[in-house]
Amino acid sequence: MLNLYQIKPQFQAALRPTAQKLAARGVTANQITLLAAGVSILIGGFLTIFATSAWLFWLLPIWLFVRMALNALDGMLAREFMQESALGGYLNEVGDIVADAALYLPFAFVLGGFQMGLFIWLAALTEVFGLLGKVYGFNGRRYDGFMGKPERAALFGILAIWYALAGSLNAWASLLVWLAIITMCVTCWLRLQNGLRASTQ
């Protein structure tokens, strides 16, 4: 199924020289993971406090791109430089869910608390269904669906730019988020079905 995860190999290839330099300097995958999560929480908290200052939301698309690069780097450091560990797995998965929630939270004060609360809950649920494919599907983590982590980041990067330029988000922005919520429900279903199907093959 077509989604942004399919361009990940090309993105990683572009970042591989940076990963090699970081490894040579003793930087670990877990350090990168903690950095990405920590800065995400700080930025999310900052934008939540100053949610009415629309121009500050330019920070979000910039950081979302940097975070995507950091997420790719920590994966390469873990796999290609023998840094994989159980602790790293926990930090990576939990860190992503916590960081996502922190970065989406400011929009609860722009679009509405109920809508964004539902979005944050479903975003976490899609990652849980992805992980359960690894636990019970015996075929690795699931990345199926149209609204995984990269697509959510792209959506909120666009919404942040929209808000920063216009100073407010209208009903069309709210509709986009509702469509994303529906799409996340479908994503959860696909990850469940494909994970179960893989477990019987």
Contact 47, 63 (CB under 8 A): no
| Kind and range of the H or E run holding 7 | none
Q: What are phi and psi of 86, to 5 degrees?
A: -65, -40
Tokens coding 139: 């075929």
Q: Lowest-confidence range among 5-9, 33-37, 153-157, 176-180?
A: 5-9
Question: Is pLDDT larger for residue 92 or for residue 140?
Answer: 92
Token representation of residue 68: 């995507």
2 by DSSP, 3-state: which? coil
Give the confidence band of 10 by pLDDT, cuts at 50, 70, 90: confident
The reported pLDDT for the residue numbered 201 is 63
pTM of the model: 0.90
The radius of gyration computed from the CA coordinates of the chain, to the nearest angstrom, equals 17
Question: Average pLDDT over the chain, rounded to whole?
Answer: 91
Mean pLDDT to the nearest integer, 89-97? 93
Residue 6, C-beta contacts closer than 8 angstroms, at least 6 positions apart: none
User: Which structure tokens are listed for 31?
Assistant: 């350090």
Which tens digits make up the pLDDT trace of 32-46?
999 999 999 999 999
Q: What CATH number is attached to the domain comprising 108?
A: 1.20.120.1760
The parent domain of residue 73 ranges over: 4-199
**Overall domain count for the chain:** 1
Q: How far apart, in Å, do the first and last CA atoms of the chain sit?
A: 19
3, pLDDT greater than 80:
no
